[in-house]
Chain A
């Protein structure tokens, strides 16, 4: 079957038992704190770099998926969720407790570049300080913010206003230096190419970019906090729709559904999994169509026909999703243990509409290839610009089409199967160009793969016996997972690895709910791609990253 991953006779992929890992780490391990998804080792806060280096270099854990910080009654804790790009089912959690009064632990940034932003976020929201971090500043909240909002002693009732003069206002500094001949330029937060409210602090030398630093947080909506205030059973599911709101809603819901179902040990009926898988892939097509459309906008300029054509195709899949879920963007269609309702009646009509869409899709893709990818000017603009070598991509924890465009063969749908993906016949798309063009090609080819998946799902659903159409497992009205159970689960979202960490405390609400946003990690690679290139290439690189600020900032 095509889902078999090519043989990698790499030492790193050798699976080690938790005990072997403990032996490998030796004295570094202070205690064990296993999570549902992975063995967990507690280490001392000053041995983070040493531990992670050993795991990265000797055991092959080369993917720092997420850094979660949380506060207990008696301590702070940072969890480093490690995986392997070769086999993401091999996971390990490194738990780093920090002192309650002065929470300081060593930074992982020298080992994994991606820890830079993740630790800044942990510092910003939780207040854990990281020694040896190159640039420990707030990342989501304004510089002048008082306190750390997710910590226990934070006064949530007290309003805070970060006024423009108080806040680090880039407009006030002139950034002029008599010596240098560079120019500082603010791109965004209101700029046609930033795809939302993103601010790029750019230093230019003529038209060339010397340095670019993304400044995020303009769309921070406390999604983690809100999820922690909701009950597992019903109140959290609407939020994922609002992370990556570019119609990728069902993919996001899949992330929460997977994490919470594994946490509460809920078995989902096969029929519901097929519906979920089909809906999720429809969302993926819609999301990739928008990525294609806006990328054409970035390269061609406004008034390009490609933009409207792609939006048109997105509209068709949007109509299908509307028929299925009753909503156009904020679907709220998944439930823990299944989906909210069955396919729309009459089923035949829905199936034939879906098939019509799938039949027409190759023609559309052909047209996009004619319009953009085979255009010489387009190739001139995108090939060999915004280059992201695979090693750099891995170091930054880049996933999704961004990683696959750099030849990193990593797709959780195949490598860490969930839903109904492992029963279906489809391929993981990779391109070796590492440039803007490859990332676009990956998305375009993934649309075709998604269409294959949807087609197989439709075939299955059409023949499903009527008395076995079980859309919902038997789930208790109130879910109370066991006290102090921890889980980290990820799915392949539209932009990459969308993960959720949940710690339960025995109540019906999560004690800690942490989102691993693929866009957050992917955006971090922008300086690597853009430095030394021209302004239009920065815009192209940003477009090819396909970020959604709702997911970056959460």
Chain B
């Protein structure tokens, strides 16, 4: 622990394979991006058709998929074939380029967020594509493009339910993104940097030692209040219960995705899952010490997977147990509650850090 961060993934590729010049860097970056994207796609592929069903079933006393393959795992290729083989129905009067771009934009924007996320190490390989100085700001910027996609889908679908869903998505994101980012700011004050490796690095020290166990200085332990705020705002950001109101199937059918079918529908679903995983990744970077965990640094990718999937499990738990709030209640919680609390947290953190430092 506490060692200098390992080489970034593309640099590692350049060095290992001796790729020359700018072209070499571009090729290395592309390869790295492809690897990271595939990890995320694999996550989503497992989560969507299989894990989500199994988890929900466990919560609701059911069995779920178990007919094909061990634990029903072969449902994953089966679902992929089934979903992609469906007819793409294009309703009359949709606003064409917008309607087509929206489902691509959602997963793409969420996927972009992973470019700055350190995903831990497998052996000497550090799965981290880029580490710009404004990394944390960048990742929130990428994540918030998602709401643009939802508005596009809602508006272009020429469907009133979609429109309502799109409007709800904007209202919700406005109400929650500000507290989300302000809460993250309090962490930045602790870490003194927006660079993600810096934020993670600031969490490597030992906070306290209890019965021989070192408790790391994860910001979740340093400032649990901010952690809870961030977790709640994050649920709203990714649109899961109790804040799944842009979709709200029992109210507005499916919201912005009502009119989408086949591959476009898959893209939306994919986007949602990638978004959940991105939410988990941001949470672990900002509050849970990134990919760090017990054991050698070289297996820290496992800890990253555990944390991200832990967050996924949490969203599914919320989904099975917590009622959905109403749109006006959500706005109220966001603007009157969370915003105030997050600013209070920010000011308090600033004062404390100022006094100590």
Contacts and interface: CB of A to CB of B under 8 A. Distances in A.
**Are A and B subunits of one complex?**
yes
A191 B251 CA distance: 8
Contacts of A375: 322-323
B252 A302 contact: no
A183 B319 CA distance: 31
Interface stretch (A148-156, A158-166, A532-540): A532-540
A356 interface: no
Contacts of A35: none
Interface in B24-74: 56, 59-62
B248 interface: yes
A185 interface: yes
Interface in A191-230: 191-193, 207
B327 A534 contact: yes
Interface in A123-155: none
Given A308-B61, A375-B322, A302 B251 contact: no
Interface in B241-286: 241-242, 244-245, 248-253
Contacts of B164: 207, 535
A371 interface: yes
Contacts of A302: 249-250
Interface in B132-186: 160-161, 164, 168
Nearest to A193: B250
B321 interface: yes
B325 interface: yes
Interface string B201-227: 000000000000000000000000000
B241 A301 contact: yes
A372 B323 contact: yes
B241 to A, nearest CB: 6
Interface in A231-249: none
B47 to A, nearest CB: 14
Interface string A301-336: 111110111001000000000000000000000000
B60 A308 contact: yes
B15 interface: no
B323 A305 contact: no
Nearest to B240: A301
A377 B251 contact: no
Contact of B324 (A300, A312, A537): A300
Nearest to B62: A308
A301 B56 CA distance: 13
Given A191-B253, A207-B164, A536-B251, A303 B320 contact: yes
B326 interface: yes
A358 interface: no
B61 A301 contact: no
A312 B161 CA distance: 32
A308 B320 CA distance: 10
A381 B253 CA distance: 19
B319 A303 contact: yes
Contacts of B249: 192, 301-302
Contacts of A535: 164, 251-252
Nearest to B322: A377
A381 B326 contact: yes
Contacts of A264: none
A25 interface: no
Contact of B326 (A192, A304, A371, A537): A537
Contacts of B253: 191-192
Interface in B79-127: none
Contacts of A297: 250
A371 B251 CA distance: 21
Contact of A185 (B160, B168, B241): B160
Interface in A367-416: 371-372, 375, 377-378, 380-381
B322 A207 contact: no
Contact of A534 (B160, B161, B244, B326): B326
Nearest to B247: A301
Contacts of B242: 377
Interface string A281-311: 0000000000000000111111111011100
Given A191-B253, A207-B164, A309-B60, A301 B325 contact: no
A301 B324 contact: yes
A539 B250 contact: yes
A304 B320 contact: yes
B324 A536 contact: yes
A326 to B, nearest CB: 27
B327 A207 contact: yes
A442 to B, nearest CB: 19
A534 B324 CA distance: 14
A537 B327 CA distance: 11
A536 B248 contact: yes
Nearest to A185: B160
A301 B319 contact: yes
B133 to A, nearest CB: 40
Contacts of B327: 207, 534, 536
A301 B244 contact: yes
B324 A193 contact: no
21 contacts: A192-B250, A193-B250, A207-B328, A297-B250, A300-B322, A300-B323, A301-B250, A301-B323, A303-B60, A304-B321, A372-B323, A375-B323, A380-B329, A381-B324, A381-B325, A381-B326, A381-B329, A534-B327, A536-B245, A536-B324, A539-B250
Given A299-B323, A381-B329, 14 more contacts: A185-B161, A193-B250, A300-B323, A302-B249, A304-B321, A305-B320, A307-B60, A378-B323, A381-B324, A534-B326, A534-B327, A535-B164, A535-B251, A535-B252
Closest 7 CB pairs of A and B: A308-B60, A305-B320, A378-B323, A300-B323, A377-B323, A193-B250, A305-B60
